């Protein structure tokens, strides 16, 4: 496949960035369907399925507290690496463009990005959680890209997002449709992956704050 196929479609354009920033300012999250080049989504799925990614059981917690907990999550994960394939390099480059475009529009101070493939076998789930470790303010903005062709409602595996004002209230429940990209403020939105009834692939990623800028950034994101 030609590298140009992977970046064709020019996402994110200035108008994509304007719309995404407006949604983040207003609601703190956005759902973008079919915005990425289809060849890129195809190639990422081929990587995930075809051994270009080294899947291991996912763990939760940081450092000494890090352990896998099958009651919390049952997916397997593999970090994206720019040198692993043209597709992974193209996806990370696209996210770098998103980072600088959002930094020009919002005062988020996004500095770096990391992403992992996750595979949820039939029956797997990820219980309700926040992506940001409280008090560390390290993950600012979360992204999830879904890689599942022809997903049906009966296949389940929805991403259930809770209301920041009351995290017992469901805000929306999103099927992991092929090419769907969900973006949300990491510290604001509790979310969970409902048990899937089919093998399910996604790429979860996080924009981090420049740790050197911590002291200079106000505690709540200006919305
Ligand atoms: C995560 C996550 C959501 C999904 O990996 O932190 O919430 O829908 N993933 O795969
Ligand atoms: Mn999450």
Domain boundaries, the chain: 2-6+23-56+73-209
> What number does CATH give the domain 2-6+23-56+73-209?
2.60.120.620
- Beta-carbon-side half-sphere exposure of residue 147 (alpha carbons within 13 Å): 23
Q: Counting atoms of ligand 1 from 1, which one is nearest the CA of 116?
A: 5
The percentage of residues in the chain with a pLDDT greater than 70, rounded to a whole number, is 89
Please state the rounded mean pLDDT for residues 56-70.
78
- List pLDDT tens digits, range 137-147: 689 999 999 99
The predicted structure's pLDDT at residue 134: 67
The sheet carrying 166-174 orders its strands as 126-129, 191-193, 159-163, 166-174
pLDDT at 211: 62
Compute the distance between CA of residue 170 and CA of residue 165 in angstroms, rounded to an integer: 11
Please tell me the distance from the alpha carbon of residue 132 to that of residue 134, in angstroms, as a whole number: 6
* Statement: residue 71 has pLDDT above 90: no
Of 25, 29, 5, 58, the C-alpha closest to 180 is: 29
Residue 8: pLDDT band (50, 70, 90) is low
Ligand 1: atom nearest CA of 176 is 8
Strand, helix or coil for residue 64: helix
Alpha-carbon torsion 189, 190, 196, 200, what sign? positive
Residue 216: pLDDT over 50: no
C-alpha 172/C-alpha 164 separation (Å) is 12
**How close is the Cα of 144 to the center of ligand 1, in Å?**
6
Give the pocket of ligand 1 (CB within 6 Å): 118, 126, 131, 144, 159, 176, 191, 193, 202, 204
Max Cα separation, the chain? 47
């Amino acid at each position: 496949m030609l590298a140009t196929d992977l970046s064709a479609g020019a996402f994110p354009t200035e108008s994509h960035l304007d719309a995404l920033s407006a949604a983040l300012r207003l609601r703190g999250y956005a759902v973008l369907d079919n915005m990425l080049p289809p060849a890129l989504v195809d190639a990422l799925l081929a990587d995930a399925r075809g051994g270009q990614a080294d899947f291991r059981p996912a763990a939760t917690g940081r450092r000494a507290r890090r352990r896998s907990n099958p009651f919390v999550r049952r997916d397997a994960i593999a970090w994206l690496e720019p040198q692993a394939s043209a597709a992974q390099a193209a996806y990370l480059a696209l996210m770098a463009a998103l980072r600088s475009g959002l930094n020009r529009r919002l005062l988020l101070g996004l500095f770096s990005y990391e992403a992992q493939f996750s595979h949820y076998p039939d029956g797997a789930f990820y219980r309700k959680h926040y992506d940001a470790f409280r008090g560390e303010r390290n993950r600012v903005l979360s992204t999830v890209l879904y890689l599942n062709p022809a997903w049906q409602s009966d296949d389940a595996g929805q991403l259930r997002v809770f209301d920041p004002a009351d995290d017992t209230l469901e805000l929306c429940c999103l099927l992991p449709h092929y090419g769907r990209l969900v973006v949300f403020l990491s510290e604001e939105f509790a979310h969970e992956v409902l048990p899937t009834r089919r093998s399910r692939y996604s790429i979860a990623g996080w924009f981090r704050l420049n740790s050197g800028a911590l002291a200079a950034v106000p505690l709540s994101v200006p919305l």
